[in-house]
Copies of this chain bind each other. A is one copy, B any other.
């Protein structure tokens, strides 16, 4: 079994690259599925969990799930619950023993014992803004400045989330085996090249 984890800057195309890489290598793929399972287990709303994992522990709005809801005072304990459930679920994925690509949620740290191949995906701010525009809903009308602020906020939060689990810095090369700048490149082309690199990596480390 081989595991690839993807950490990524918001808007860099890391999620799409992870999906394409999974197809290229015929690996299972986990991203939004993790949020869905956390929601099932914790009885919290998927959007709330997603926001909490993106926006970090300072996020404070009511938690809703079906007709149940909690108020901000419950935020701290719900963060703890989300983090611990995330850990359980990600470990559960690895325990299945099938090769997979897992996007985000500090899976590189959580699955350290499985020696995953850890990739960091990033790009220039201009390219991230352009990608956010491409996938924006029709009623979204952010200026470039606003988008840049939002991208930075989410990335800062990802970094803080990581710091809850490890001393290693998010986005610092030493934490990863390969760091890929997607600026100006076709994600299909990158996926093919990174798939080849991954095979080489697993060949070197397989026992």
Q: Which residues of A are interface residues toward B (Cβ below 8 A)?
A: 120, 122, 124, 171-174, 176-181, 183-186, 189-190, 192-194, 196-197, 200-201, 203-205
Contact = CB atoms under 8 A, between A and B. Distances in A.
A197 B172 CA distance: 21
Contacts of A181: 173-174, 176-178
* Copies of the chain in the assembly: 2
A203 B184 CA distance: 11
Nearest to A183: B177
A194 B179 CA distance: 12
B173 A189 contact: no
Most buried by B among A196, A197, A203: A197
5 contacts: A176-B179, A179-B179, A184-B204, A189-B204, A193-B193
Contacts of A200: 185, 189-190, 192-193
Nearest to A203: B189
Contacts of A120: 173, 179
Contacts of A185: 200-201, 204
A174 B122 contact: yes
A189 B196 CA distance: 11
A145 to B, nearest CB: 19
Please give me the 8 A-B residue pairs with the lowest Cβ-Cβ distance, nearest first.
A179-B179, A193-B197, A173-B179, A177-B181, A193-B200, A189-B200, A185-B204, A122-B173
Contacts of A172: 172-173
Nearest to A176: B181
